[in-house]
Amino acid sequence: MVEFSNVSKTYNKDFEALKNINLQIDKGEFVFVVGASGAGKSTFLKLCMREEVPTTGTVTINGFDLNNIKKRKIPYFRRTLGIVFQDFRLIPDMRVYDNVAFALRVTGTKEKEVRRRVTHALSMVGLLGKTQSLPKELSGGEQQRAAIARALVNGPELIIADEPTGNVDPQMSLEIVELLNAINRSEGTTIIMVTHAHDLVKRFDHRIIALKDGEIIADGYDKEQILPTLEEDILAEEHAGYYAAPREMGAVEQFIFSYGKSDDAADAPDAVSDAEPDADPFDDPADEPAEGGDEQ
Ligand code: ADP
């Protein structure tokens, strides 16, 4: 479950990138987040991943109070997420199987369990025939499917997909969203997908949250009503030759390492006691308040 309550995010002391955001996304929902460049989508995702903390208001994700979570618990929180990036972010010198297995191995999962889960994830995305391929030997669509397998291998409660179709052709784009849709249905995984691709959004009946200048201007299911309000902005971007460049979110290796280590990868966050991650190279600009307040 995702809950934003009166959330604002100010950069450089006076620029409000998000203004008084209130929303709730229930377990099992599939939500598109749309809006022109600069609307605040990336900031919204960073708050969801606890790469940033709100300037005011509270963010609660998967039962974790992200305002007050202790730094050493952040890896456990992040294990409840799967992230899919626009530019795939597979590790280039690792085969597909190992890319997907990596997130499990860094948490100390036994190889037998790794094999079981990786096989399940790769079969869900239809890549069992490519387990020994390197990323460069795959098409863009296949690379994104491998990245989706990596995102789901941990059995996350929430998958965050940041422009997942931005680097693949239209036919493959539809397949990528259909795949996320299938995961949403079969695994009950909550999906938040940020996208510019209104043509794709129109093909589904999912909830749409529209951002503009840091505010939610629409939140609902009425695509005929919601999407046209943004199309002028998107067209203006296209005229300006705008290209949705991959976002800076820190390398995926760092993100996965930020899951931290534990003896039992399957442990629930609540069951985790003092297991301090051995290494947390994730550069978290939002650490400061992490030691105060209640933890999950
Ligand atoms: P979107 O993802 O919709 O393009 P962002 O969340 O990236 O929007 O950005 C919203 C606004 O906040 C933009 O005007 C952007 O320039 C600004 N912004 C984003 N990140 C920072 C930052 N780290 N420092 C200062 N301004 C930022």
Mean pLDDT for back-to-back runs of 10 residues, the chain (296 residues):
97 94 98 94 96 97 97 93 94 96 92 97 96 96 96 96 92 94 96 94 96 96 91 71 50 53 40 37 41 41
Query: What does the CA dihedral 162, 163, 167, 169 come to, rounded to 10 degrees?
Result: 140
What's the pLDDT at 233?
Answer: 76
Q: 15 CA distance to ligand 1 centroid (A)?
A: 9
Interatomic CA distance for residues 63 and 40, integer angstroms: 24
Tokens of 273: 């006691």
Say if CB 193 and CB 33 are below 8 A apart. yes
Three-state SS letters, the chain: CEEEEEEEEEECCCEEEEEEEEEEECCCCEEEEECCCCCCHHHHHHHHHCCCCCCEEEEEECCEECCCCCHHHHHHHHCCEEEECCCCCCCCCCCHHHHHHHHHHCCCCCHHHHHHHHHHHHHHCCCHHHCCCCHHHCCHHHHHHHHHHHHHCCCCCEEEEECCCCCCCHHHHHHHHHHHHHHHHHHCCEEEEECCCHHHHHCCCCEEEEEECCEEEEEECCHHHHCHHHHHHHHHHHHCCCCCCCCCCCCHHHHHHCCCCCCCCCCCHHHCCCCCCCCCCCCCCCCHHHHCCCCC
Pocket perturbation via mutation, ligand 1, pick of 43, 160, 237 by most ligand atoms within 8 A of CB: 43
What's the pLDDT at 264?
Answer: 41
Q: 111 CA distance to ligand 1 centroid (A)?
A: 41
What's the pLDDT at 296?
Answer: 39
Which amino acid residue places its CA nearest to atom 5 of ligand 1? 40
**Residues in CB range of 50: below 8 A, 6 or more apart:** 59, 61, 66, 69, 74, 77, 78, 284, 286
Interatomic CA distance for residues 5 and 109, integer angstroms: 36
What's the pLDDT at 254?
Answer: 55
Say if CB 211 and CB 35 are below 8 A apart. yes
Which amino acid residue places its CA nearest to atom 12 of ligand 1? 17
55 lines ligand 1 (CB under 6 A): no
What's the pLDDT at 280?
Answer: 36
Q: How far is CA 96 from CA 11, 79, 85, 129, 160, in A?
A: 38, 20, 16, 10, 21
Which amino acid residue places its CA nearest to atom 7 of ligand 1? 42
What's the pLDDT at 291?
Answer: 41
Residue 98 is which amino acid?
D
Query: 210 — phi, psi (to 5°)?
Result: -105, 125
Interatomic CA distance for residues 36 and 196, integer angstroms: 7
Within 13 Å, how many C-alpha atoms sit on residue 75's CB side? 27
Specify the pairing of strand 56-61 against strand 15-25: unpaired
Query: What does the CA dihedral 15, 47, 4, 155 come to, rounded to 10 degrees?
Result: 160
Q: 41 CA distance to ligand 1 centroid (A)?
A: 8
How would you list the strands of the sheet with 2-11, edge to edge? 15-25, 2-11, 56-61, 64-65
pTM of the model: 0.84
What's the pLDDT at 256?
Answer: 56
